Amino acid sequence: MRRQLTLDRKMDYAKFSLIGNLIVSIGIMMVTAGGSWDITNHILNKPETFFSPPHAVLYSGVGTALLGFFVSYLGWKKSGKHYPFAMGIKICGMGMSLLLAAGPADFVWHSNFGLDGLLSPPHLVLISGMMLSAVGAFVNSARYTKQQVNSSRILIIISLIPVWFSVTGLFYSFSLPFSETDYFDFNPHPVFAAAFASTAYPFLISSILITASTLCGRKFGVTSIIGISYLGIMSLTAIVPNESLLATIPFYWLNLIPIVCGDLVLSKAKSASGIFAAGAIFGSAFFFMYYPLITYTYNEVFLEKVIWPSLISFVYFEMVPTIAPILVASGSVAGMFGAKFAKKLTNAL
């Protein structure tokens, strides 16, 4: 009887820890939203200081994530040795250490150099912390979901969105020409940036969406919810702040079509070929899903125009007839590799 009570108490601590994981994921979601907004402010040439609204959202997210980590850590310590979510908390702990270091580093950088590029050292520390924290929370959510007969899909949905955005932040650093300042030039070579974007973005989209669907038993709707969340956050942080892009919001939301189609294919798939087909569908849409920022990546190679904030959409749509067919094809291939990776990942968790 006493042993059963002890086991029940440990399970209660484990569930308590999972609440902390959810708070971590929400906090990292705030961090990534603030980061996306900050990039848009850079494009719009708004005054750059440490005490800016995007930074306020970003570092509020850091505080929220830190609170969630403390709750998770407390649950870990109270549950004893045989704790099923220790690995995720350790990964998350490394991420939190980097997030805490990023704030002072960013303040010092702004104080000494003013404007900071996307690939500045403080930003890399911040992005690495975001990724590790988000991945740690996701690992625990995935393991808990796989252990339950009635899996909680909300855990997967909430934990995978910040993973998607934090990895995207890293990919932005190596594909966008926003890292040249008066003091440093960390911009990636244009050809490398375009090649990297053409493979990394579709791979990531496919990996995230198929992982979510697989962990949730390929139930229709899970992938669509994550896709809608992504489109919503990107609309609010990368399109709405730029008034000249408001008219393109309906175009951007057409991305919901391949997301829902891929979701439907996954829910009906009876073999691996169906999963690869869904990966191809997701990957083929990357050039449209990463609008408007991806305009800068391919402009560097194909048009080499000076892009003012008011001209982003014009340059983008000028490129569409030329490069979209090629990128749809290459994105499909990369998306299938993403599907293969997602299959291995879900088996390993």
Is residue 44 assigned to a domain? yes
Provide the 8-state DSSP code for 237.
I
DSSP for 106-132?
HHHHHHHHSS--TT-HHHHHHHHHHHH
Q: What is the pLDDT of residue 149?
A: 45
Same domain for 309 and 202, yes or no, is: yes
Count of domains forming the chain: 2
Q: What is the pLDDT of residue 171?
A: 95
pTM for the predicted model, two decimal places:
0.90
Same domain for 230 and 315, yes or no, is: yes
Is residue 123 assigned to a domain? yes
Cα(324)–Cα(347) distance, rounded to whole angstroms? 34
Same domain for 146 and 195, yes or no, is: no
Same domain for 337 and 217, yes or no, is: yes
Residues forming beta bridges with residue 185, ordered by sequence position: 180
Residue 92: domain span? 1-158
Same domain for 3 and 128, yes or no, is: yes
Q: What is the pLDDT of residue 322?
A: 93
Residue 112 has pLDDT above 80, yes or no: no
Average pLDDT over residues 320-337: 97
Question: Residue 247, exposed/middle/buried by CB under 10 A (0-12, 13-18, 19+)?
Answer: exposed
Is residue 272 assigned to a domain? yes
Q: Are 63 and 19 in contact (CB under 8 A)?
A: no
Q: What is the pLDDT of residues 184-211, one digit of tens each?
A: 888 999 999 999 999 999 999 999 999 9
Q: What is the pLDDT of residue 87?
A: 84
Same domain for 12 and 154, yes or no, is: yes
Residues of the chain with pLDDT > 90: what percent?
A: 56
Quick one: which of 169, 174, 130 has its CA closest to 36? 169
Q: CA 230 → CA 216, 236, 259, distances in Å? A: 18, 10, 11
Q: Cis bond leading into 190, ω under 30°?
A: no
Same domain for 218 and 137, yes or no, is: no
Q: How many CA atoms lie within 13 A of 15 on its CB side?
A: 8
Residue 2 has pLDDT above 60, yes or no: no
Cα(162)–Cα(133) distance, rounded to whole angstroms? 9
Same domain for 203 and 63, yes or no, is: no
